[in-house]
A and B are shown apart, each in its own frame.
Chain A
Amino acid sequence: MPGMNSGLNISDPTVVAAFKAALVHQGLIALLIFALVGLAWITIRAGLPAAVGAGAGPAPQAAAVAEPAWRRLLRVGFGLIWVFDGILQAQPKMAVGLPSQVIEPAAASSPPWVQHVVNWAGTTWSYHPMQAGASAVWIQVGIGIWLIVAARGPLSRLAGLVSVGWGLVVWVFGESFGGIFAPGLTWLFGAPGAALVYAVAGALIALPERAWRSRRLGQLTTAGTGLFLIGMAVLQAWPGRGFWQGISHGQPGTLAGMTGSMAQTPQPGFLSGWVNAFTTFDEAHGFAVNLFVVAALAVTGAVFLSGRPRLIGPVLIGFSVLCLADWVLIEDLGFLGGLGTDPNSMIPMVLLTAAGYLAVARAPAKAAEPASSPAAAASWRDRLRIAAAPATLASASIGSVAAIGAIGVIILGAAPMAAAQASPVADTILAQAIDGTSTPLDSPAPPFSLTDQHGRDVTLASLRGKVVLLTFLDPVCTTDCPLEAQEFRQAGQLLGADSRRVELVAIVANPVDYQLGYTQAFDRQEGLDGVPNWLFLTGSPAQLARVWRDYGIAAEIAPAGSMIAHSENAFVIDQQGHLRQEMGFDPGPGTAATQSSFAAELTDAAQQLLRQS
């Protein structure tokens, strides 16, 4: 999938350090948000004791029905899971590794249209790894806190809706639709995707309070879950998918193959030992294992479909045990290895089915009717009016205030990502991760007198008045130089109107293939022949050797069919002909993200000089 992979090492120290610094910085801002909201709340409460006394707030307004146990279970349970997922997103390898090691493999077996959709998100992430990584942390931590603290009222329902929205984002882009369009789909490995379960739970939390009043919601939840499990049982039993065989043609069957590869991921020894033991067991008893799974899913599904609490209760216990066993032995907990994004589907599945059972088995308790008060009678729209804001805040519960803080945390994560998304240019951190930061210089640039690709004489002095971005390229290079040329080309495009004041200059770095025909062929190859401020300069071997020496460039003939070995540097020369920066210019993996990052680095350097002039 093009663009998805930045090509950097997932433990690249430059990006990891920057990611950690960003998280610490944003974490302090998150604490500040909570502190400010809390301070405002305390201050206003002190200033408006009448509002406090009125007892206004969402709880009294909607206290006709107490929050049922099933909803509390979903809200707090999934809130905790969101917080845990957010913490997992803060793992050092996430910033670079998530697109290439998590998203791309998840989409690899899906149809091309799924890969196309997923590629868009993966590319965005790989262009802005720090912003994307940090945003995932704060959005998920924020949603989790919001769900936990907002027990009642519109803020609580809104938390459910946000959970649905972000759950679907993760399900589509992070889990490739939970893999439901890929072959090999199985409940055992998390179908239909943990994030879809998050979204379903969020939707239940977002339901209005009138939906809490009967068992019908619980019946529909358990019936839907039952149908789903029966469908999964049929899928699990479907012949030809390799689940009935522990070993097939000398190779592990589908399930044993999956668990065998899971056991290879970094994890505590005892856990990999358990997973390996299960793999061995499944290889030996593949048919029996699958028969058990099919029967368990079918029976659980049928009982859930019946809607009878007396049957559902004991079956739920057995189903929960099965889920936990699957979570440990097959899903391998899901969050280990440094790139785990969540604890996979089994814990959410247990929470959802347990909530369904509670909704069926326990009737919602009636709460006492609240005392009538003007504030309580006011609708939430009235209370959101700016004029009513102080009174609303003063009367808010501590949970609601914490929810506002959580919303602030979500915005803290989402805003930088939205801003980064609006930019098609990759973060310069990628270029710096490859070649380090540029070296500031302040000395006259060595002069040169060469010939451009059109046969015209060009000297450095003739470029005075313009910022010169200079590099050295081998026109017959098969790897790095074409990438570097594209980085220059992209820089020219990014400069826009400023490109009139910037000259993009390359000098031939090949003592054999230096003739004009080579610079012209290279320009056509790279689409540079129509770029007005592009110069590809050459000269006699003696002229070129002098320029290479003056700029510290080595260009040596390598033996036995290898290309020329030459230094990869770029120089920034100001309008007065002074060297101002020297950059390492090895393009690294040469992905779309790194090329864009180098182009951004060149553009920034040129624009910095243009601003100073």
Chain B
Amino acid sequence: MSRPRRRLAATAVLLPAVMLAAGCAGAPATTAPATQAAPPSPALNTSLDTAAGTWAAVVMGGSAAQDNNFWQLFIRPAGSTRWKLVTPPGTADNGGLVLAGDGPALVTGFRPSQDLTYTPLIQTSDGGQAWSSLNPLDAALASTPDALAAKPGSGQLLALLNGGSAEEAAPGVVTWSTLASQQVLAATPAGRRCGLRALTAAAFTPAGIPVLAGSCTRPGTAGIFTAGNGTWQATGPVIPAALAGQDITVSRLTRTAQGMTALLQAGSGPAASLLAAWSADGSHWTLSPPLPLHSGALTTASFGPGTTAAIITSANRGQITAGAGSAWLPLPPLPPDTATLAPGPGGAADALAVRGGTLTVWQHDPDGTTWTKIQVINVPIPYGSSS
């Protein structure tokens, strides 16, 4: 066989072989087992109580395009039973609204979306009638409802960022500086004792001291840390012995009129449970009895007047607690499309249900076993304005 002929023959053999091999490629790869992770943060849908009234942020829209979901802010003014739409103007809020109460005022952070990478901030002191911009945070807020906190009466802000660091801004919010990062905090003695895996919430104590919270890999440790004396102190509650073997994640941490309230998820799978923790000073805590989650997870949580809290679990069950050591009480089956709950005084609660651009408010009085529709608000969702 001459050389050209040999080459041609080799090509003739090789080409089908290559194509055969290529054509047989593409079998699906087996997937590696997932590593155990902290439970997901609850949704940004939430409500909180301030001197001006109860605020609620819920996502509305719900078309197929993600960028056609817009967060809307509502307020139920103090003393009123009616809600009204007060979504702050000027910025697309597809990325989510994060709320921080500051006495009668409310600071709102717009989580960046699409091509925006920093966080516009806006404030109202009159129940959402007028808004004024604050200097923006030159980074993206973390996607957790407690990513922003305001020190009462001072204008000082604390923000938890996407990258896992916490920034603080002096009154007037001219510049931001780094307070801590997950890595730095994890390297402190308190962080090492917790095995800090991620930061999940930021708040101020009633005394105005920054507090950060997260999830711990060391079982039975609640990762709540207070800044002081140049380092960080572990100030989380002592976990009951029955849950000492479980990983603890601080899912929510917020300051209320009576102190601080935290929601702790213990364990995962069938053994998962939820505890509420209350503290008047940020260091001495009272715990609720554990609420079994039955393999579910916390989807949204809200804080009402006093120390009340209400939650919705992934099984679409509502629970409410009156605070300070009270047990969780089940709410009647939630109305369809309930996005979040807004606890009211004396064990009452509103359920805010969202379908497309319609918000339906359902009310449950403490003695009732049903929900009563009390209000419908149609929101002019600006479909297509951000796509």
Binding site for B on A (CB under 8 A): 109, 180-186, 191-192, 216, 220, 223-225, 227-228, 230-232, 234-235, 238, 240-241, 476-479, 482-483, 510-515, 517-518, 521, 524-525, 557-565
A479, B386: Cβ atoms closer than 8 Å: yes
Interface residues on B, range: 35 or more
C-alpha gap A560/B377 in the complex (Å): 12
B70, A562: Cβ atoms closer than 8 Å: yes
A117 to chain B, nearest CB (A): 15
Given contacts A220-B9, A234-B20, A559-B380, contact A510 B90 (CB under 8 A): yes
A203 to chain B, nearest CB (A): 10
Given contacts A223-B12, A561-B71, contact A478 B94 (CB under 8 A): yes
A224, B8: Cβ atoms closer than 8 Å: yes
C-alpha gap A548/B55 in the complex (Å): 35
Which A residues lie within 8 Å of B110 (CB)? 476
A525, B117: Cβ atoms closer than 8 Å: yes
Binding site for A on B (CB under 8 A): 5, 8-9, 11-13, 15-20, 22-27, 60, 70-72, 85, 87, 89-95, 110, 112-118, 120, 122, 131, 133, 135-136, 138, 174, 379-382, 385-387
B385, A563: Cβ atoms closer than 8 Å: yes
Q: Which of B13, B15, B380 contacts A560 (CB 8 A)?
A: B380
C-alpha gap A41/B72 in the complex (Å): 79
Which B residues lie within 8 Å of A241 (CB)? 23-24
B90, A476: Cβ atoms closer than 8 Å: yes
Which A residues lie within 8 Å of B8 (CB)? 220, 224
Q: Which of B18, B26, B89, B112 contacts A182 (CB 8 A)?
A: B26
B115 to chain A, nearest CB (A): 4
C-alpha gap A180/B18 in the complex (Å): 8
B115, A483: Cβ atoms closer than 8 Å: yes
Which A residues lie within 8 Å of B122 (CB)? 512-513
Given contacts A185-B19, A241-B23, A559-B89, 9 further A-B contacts (CB under 8 A): A224-B8, A228-B15, A231-B17, A513-B90, A525-B117, A559-B87, A560-B381, A561-B72, A561-B94
Between A241, A482, A511, A525, the greatest number of chain B beta carbons within 10 A of the residue's beta carbon is seen for: A525
A478, B23: Cβ atoms closer than 8 Å: no
Which B residues lie within 8 Å of A182 (CB)? 22, 26
C-alpha gap A172/B337 in the complex (Å): 52
Which A residues lie within 8 Å of B19 (CB)? 180, 185, 191-192, 228, 231-232, 235
A231, B120: Cβ atoms closer than 8 Å: no
Which B residues lie within 8 Å of A181 (CB)? 22, 25
A478 to chain B, nearest CB (A): 4
Q: Which of A230, A479, A524, A560 contacts B72 (CB 8 A)?
A: A560
Which A residues lie within 8 Å of B113 (CB)? 478
Between B18, B23, B71, the greatest number of chain A beta carbons within 10 A of the residue's beta carbon is seen for: B23
A482, B133: Cβ atoms closer than 8 Å: no
A210 to chain B, nearest CB (A): 11
Between A220, A231, A234, A518, the greatest number of chain B beta carbons within 10 A of the residue's beta carbon is seen for: A231
The residue of chain A having its C-beta at the shortest distance from the C-beta of B17 within the complex is A231
C-alpha gap A352/B379 in the complex (Å): 67
Which B residues lie within 8 Å of A227 (CB)? 12-13, 15-16
C-alpha gap A216/B16 in the complex (Å): 21
Given contacts A230-B16, A561-B382, contact A180 B22 (CB under 8 A): yes
Q: Which of A184, A220, A517, A564 contacts B90 (CB 8 A)?
A: A564
Which B residues lie within 8 Å of A562 (CB)? 70, 92, 382, 385-386
The residue of chain A having its C-beta at the shortest distance from the C-beta of B26 within the complex is A183
Between B17, B89, B113, B133, the greatest number of chain A beta carbons within 10 A of the residue's beta carbon is seen for: B89
Which A residues lie within 8 Å of B386 (CB)? 478-479, 562-563
Q: Mind listing 15 A-B residue pairs with CB under 8 Å?
A: A224-B12, A228-B19, A477-B115, A482-B116, A512-B122, A512-B133, A513-B90, A513-B91, A513-B133, A513-B136, A521-B118, A525-B118, A559-B380, A560-B382, A565-B385
A111 to chain B, nearest CB (A): 9
B4 to chain A, nearest CB (A): 8
C-alpha gap A224/B85 in the complex (Å): 75
